[in-house]
Amino acid sequence: MKKVTLIPGDGIGYEISESLVEIFKAAKVPIEFETENAGADVYEKTGELIPNSLYKSVEKNKIAIKGPITTPIGKGFRSINVYLRKKYDLYTNFRPSRNLPGIKTRYENINLAIFRENTEGIYIGEEKYENDEKTSAIAIKRITRKGSERIIRSAFEYAKNNGLSKVTVVHKANILKFTDGMFLEIAREVSKSYEGIELEELIVDNMCMQLVTNPERFRVIVTMNLYGDILSDLVAGLVGGLGVAPGANIGDDIAIFEAVHGSAPDIAGENKANPLALLLSSLEMLKYLKLNDFAENIENAILKTLEEGCKTKDLGGNATTTEFTKKIIENLG
């Protein structure tokens, strides 16, 4: 039995985690969850946002799956998500998006993965005022050779492992010649060692237009931190919203899989939450652990459930979280 750290999070985190645990149990997935929580509820009880036992569990198991976490506002905390990415050097933010049956959108054949650099760029948070009057401020964008090369390699490895023939690099090197220019140059270098995989280069503003007019032509996208943040929410919107958007933060040693949405305080505790984002993230986790048969079985059950028209309220259906979960379990092979 492989042990995985389960971080339920806050708000709807409890409901969607319960759904995940039940489905894994019914599908006989050889994983034992070790539950360790972090976030606003834990802070209320213990005065600590992330307990030491959580770090220990993640460092021992190397794999975690995480629900949404509320960062208490005005208490001087930075986002837990950003913190964990930094602490464990989880440099790849992987966000796959695809059309699902029964979820009506403008497009039918979207199936793409965004690889967002997760540790540098403008996200390093180095900002300052330039004068005492605070009428001018600057922010630093840091791009390194090492940081760029490893995220670009992640994207190319994914393309290679999935038999895909193109990777699209997104940049603004025409304006940012040193930072984005270096990222682009490294993408060109890396692409040379992947025979049969073409590198497509697109400037970020053009990419936005392409994504809303012709998203079906992209399969693998690699980009810097901020562009990746924005593009991945844009693409999530194209396939049905944050309720169906999975994600993962992956480093060389540790990986944390997560639902992309927040803790949804407006519906928490009402048995209305859509567990799909967390479930789809868990499928990526199973593939990462080479438990592909289990991933496939659960995936087929999810697709069948959606095809039958069973879905939660956010997707225009009327199933509760527990009804939706039960139906998926019934549809397991």
**What DSSP designation does 142 have?**
B
By beta-carbon distance, which residue lies closest to Mg ion?
A: 229
Q: Enter the DSSP assignment of 261.
A: S
Q: Quick check: 70 binds ligand NAI (CB under 6 A)?
A: yes
Angle between helices 276-288 and 292-307 (to 10 degrees): 160
Min CB(83)–ligand NAI separation in Å: 11
Q: Rounded to the nearest whole angstrom, what is the least distance from the CB of residue 195 to Mg ion in the complex?
A: 34
Nearer to ligand NAI, 150 or 261 (CB): 261
Smallest gap from Cβ 245 to ligand NAI, in A, equals 9
Whole-number Cα distances in Å, 32 to 6, 86, 160, 276, 330:
9, 26, 31, 20, 22
314's contact among ligand NAI, Mg ion, none, with CB below 5 to 8 A by partner kind, is ligand NAI
By CB under 6 A, name the one of 5, 19, 71, 282 that touches ligand NAI. Answer: 71
Shortest reach from residue 132's CB to ligand NAI, in Å: 33
Tell me whether residue 170 or residue 199 sits nearer to Mg ion (CB atom). Answer: 170
Residues touching ligand NAI, count (CB under 6 A): 20
The residue (of 51 and 262) whose beta carbon lies closer to Mg ion is: 262
The residue ranges of DSSP E strands in 61-139, in sequence order, are: 63-66, 92-98, 111-117, 127-129, 137-139
From Mg ion, ligand NAI, none, interface partner of 172 (C-beta below 5 to 8 A by class): none
**Which residue do the tokens 């304006």 mark?**
175
Q: Which is nearer to ligand NAI, 10 or 180 (CB)?
A: 10
The helix/strand/coil state of 123 is helix
Measured from the CB atom, the residue of 186 and 236 that comes closer to ligand NAI is 236
Dist. CA 296–CA 330, nearest whole Å: 15
Question: Rounded CA gap, 190 and 249, in Å?
Answer: 22
Determine which helix (DSSP H) or strand (DSSP E) holds 74, and give its type and residue range: none
Per-residue mark of binding to ligand NAI, 49-68 (x: CB under 6 A): -------------------x
Nearer to ligand NAI, 172 or 246 (CB): 246
Alpha-carbon distance values, 262 to 165, 290, 292 (Å)? 34, 28, 28
End-to-end Cα distance, the chain: 21
Q: Which does 229 bind (CB under 5 to 8 A by kind): Mg ion, ligand NAI, none?
A: Mg ion
**Residues of this chain, 258-277, that bind ligand NAI according to CB under 6 A:** 258, 261-267, 273-274, 277
Q: Quick check: 258 binds Mg ion (CB under 5 A)? A: no
Quick check: 229 binds Mg ion (CB under 5 A)? yes
Neighbours of 45 (CB within 10 A): 10
Q: In terms of C-beta density within 10 A (0-12 exposed, 13-18 middle, 19 or more buried), how is residue 106 classed?
A: exposed
Q: Which residue has the tokens 């390194």?
A: 144
Q: Which does 243 bind (CB under 5 to 8 A by kind): Mg ion, ligand NAI, none?
A: ligand NAI
Q: Cα–Cα distance between 11 and 114 in angstroms, integer?
A: 27
Binding site for Mg ion (CB under 5 A): 229
Q: Which residues bind ligand NAI (CB under 6 A)?
A: 12, 68-71, 81, 242-243, 258, 261-267, 273-274, 277, 314
